[in-house]
């Protein structure tokens, strides 16, 4: 079949390619260089006006004596945990010597030097006074020789004459009168000799006096040992090790009829501590307060460590420490040193220990410490100053404020 025929048999025209009109070329958008846009002054909305804080001249700062509660005392990092020894006992490392030294009150050594110089001066003056009064002393010596010669002669005469009362009555009377007048002269010792003898006698007597006192305490006390009050003995051993002491000082407990006290003292070449029984009750009775006991023992051991309780230290200020105000001031500096070292040793702030001395061993825990410290700041004035000046220990308010000082500075001496 012919494909060019439609179904009716009509021949089909060949299909002409149709003219397709072209789309007119649209002109391309030409690049027109733009005029530079001149910046228009734009309106910038203003910030609303905020009045500035004005400078107001301040009143000069007047520090108020207000008490700011202090951070509780944190034991020093030097308190290295103890190690167990071969016999099961704890062994403590000695503390850093510089740290111990830093506890000393800044005026302590200075005051000791002053008293030492004064002490020498007193002795030198007494010797100089003796040589200055040599003529008077010679006369006194001659009178003394005459008196004893007369006494010996009288005794000899008596033995030679036997019971013969009649012979030489008047001569004997004369002798007696002479002897009596000599006796009066001997009784009236020159002042310079009195001073010199007192100095020499005291210096020689001290070792005997302290040994006698030690004998008295020892015979009336209980010695604290590993078996007697072992908890207390363990504290003493701990502090002796921390202080690097070669010998653990002997500690005694004595009954003090309600007196709250503890002290360290010495005999030649040795020191000891005496604690009054009533004070130890805080550890063993209602409060079981070992911290307070630790502080008290640490304070006394500090006196030993810092050589306050030694014979040579005592000799150095034997006479000058009796001078009012000067002696007590040196002593107050020593107390501050030992309080500070006791804090380091015991890890306790020591305020409770002081409270036992103020409020007593039964009530000291009831004292509000913040309130006490606030009031302590107001305990001052001329008469408080005078009282503190003659006290061998700092007055309690000053002492407790020093214990509470977080900067651990030297306490106030005056």
Provide the binding-site residues for Zn ion, judged by CB under 5 A.
335, 338
280-317 in b/e form (b: 16+ CB < 10 A) is bbbbeeebebbbbbbbbbbbbbbbbbbebbbbebbebb
Task: Give the number of other CB atoms < 10 A from CB of residue 80.
Answer: 12
Distance between CA atoms of 261 and 219, rounded to whole angstroms?
18
Of 182 and 278, the one with the shorter C-beta distance to Zn ion is 278
The answer to whether the CB of 224 falls within 8 A of the CB of 252 is yes
Of 338 and 354, the one with the shorter C-beta distance to Zn ion is 338
Of 196 and 353, the one with the shorter C-beta distance to Zn ion is 353
Distance between CA atoms of 145 and 394, rounded to whole angstroms?
53
Of 123 and 306, the one with the shorter C-beta distance to Zn ion is 306
Of 295 and 364, the one with the shorter C-beta distance to Zn ion is 295
To Zn ion, the closest distance from the beta carbon of 183 in angstroms equals: 48
Distance between CA atoms of 5 and 19, rounded to whole angstroms?
25
Of 115 and 182, the one with the shorter C-beta distance to Zn ion is 115
- Counting beta carbons within 10 angstroms of the beta carbon of residue 185, is it exposed (0 to 12), middle (13 to 18) or buried (19 or more)? middle
To Zn ion, the closest distance from the beta carbon of 146 in angstroms equals: 53
How far CA 157 is from CA of 106, 147, 165, in Å, comes to 71, 15, 12
Of 190 and 256, the one with the shorter C-beta distance to Zn ion is 256
The answer to whether the CB of 140 falls within 8 A of the CB of 134 is no
To Zn ion, the closest distance from the beta carbon of 186 in angstroms equals: 45
To Zn ion, the closest distance from the beta carbon of 371 in angstroms equals: 26
Of 242 and 332, the one with the shorter C-beta distance to Zn ion is 332
Of 214 and 394, the one with the shorter C-beta distance to Zn ion is 394
State the residue number with the nearest CB to Zn ion: 335
- Counting beta carbons within 10 angstroms of the beta carbon of residue 367, is it exposed (0 to 12), middle (13 to 18) or buried (19 or more)? middle
Of 289 and 335, the one with the shorter C-beta distance to Zn ion is 335
To Zn ion, the closest distance from the beta carbon of 303 in angstroms equals: 6
To Zn ion, the closest distance from the beta carbon of 126 in angstroms equals: 30
Distance between CA atoms of 197 and 204, rounded to whole angstroms?
11
Distance between CA atoms of 20 and 236, rounded to whole angstroms?
124
């Amino acid at each position: 079949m012919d494909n060019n025929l439609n179904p009716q048999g009509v021949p089909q025209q060949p299909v002409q390619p149709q003219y397709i009109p072209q789309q007119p070329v649209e002109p391309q958008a030409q690049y027109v260089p733009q005029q530079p846009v001149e910046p228009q002054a734009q309106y910038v909305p203003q910030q609303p006006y905020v009045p500035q804080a004005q400078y107001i001249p301040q009143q000069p700062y007047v520090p108020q004596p207000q008490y700011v509660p202090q951070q509780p005392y944190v034991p020093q990092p030097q308190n290295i945990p103890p190690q167990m020894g071969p016999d099961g006992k704890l062994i403590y490392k000695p503390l850093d010597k510089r740290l111990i030294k830093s506890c000393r009150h800044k005026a302590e050594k200075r005051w000791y030097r002053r008293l030492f110089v004064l002490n020498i001066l007193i002795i030198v003056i007494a010797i100089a006074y003796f040589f200055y009064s040599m003529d008077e002393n010679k006369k006194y010596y001659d009178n003394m020789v005459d008196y004893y010669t007369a006494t010996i002669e009288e005794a000899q005469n008596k033995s030679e004459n036997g019971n013969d009362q009649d012979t030489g009555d008047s001569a004997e009377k004369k002798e007696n009168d002479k002897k009596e007048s000599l006796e009066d002269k001997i009784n009236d010792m020159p002042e310079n000799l009195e001073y010199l003898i007192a100095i020499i006698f005291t210096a020689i007597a001290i070792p005997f006096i302290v040994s006698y006192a030690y004998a008295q305490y020892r015979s009336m006390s209980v010695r604290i040992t590993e078996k007697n009050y072992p908890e207390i003995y363990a504290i003493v051993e701990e502090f002796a090790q921390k202080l690097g002491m070669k010998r653990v000082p002997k500690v005694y407990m004595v009954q003090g009829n309600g007196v709250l006290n503890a002290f360290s003292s010495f005999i030649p070449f040795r020191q000891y501590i005496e604690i009054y029984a009533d004070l130890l009750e805080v550890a063993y009775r209602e409060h079981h307060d070992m911290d307070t006991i630790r502080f008290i023992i640490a304070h006394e051991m500090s006196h030993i460590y810092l050589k306050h309780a030694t014979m040579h230290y005592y000799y150095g200020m034997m006479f000058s420490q009796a001078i009012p105000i000067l002696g007590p001031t040196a002593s107050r500096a020593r107390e501050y040193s030992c309080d500070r070292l006791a804090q380091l040793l015991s890890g306790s702030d020591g305020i409770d220990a002081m409270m036992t001395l103020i409020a007593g061993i039964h009530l000291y825990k009831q004292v509000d410490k913040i309130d006490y410290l606030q009031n302590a700041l107001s305990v001052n004035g001329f008469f408080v100053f005078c009282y503190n000046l003659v006290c061998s220990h700092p007055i309690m308010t000053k002492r407790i404020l020093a214990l509470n000082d977080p900067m651990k500075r030297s306490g106030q001496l005056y």
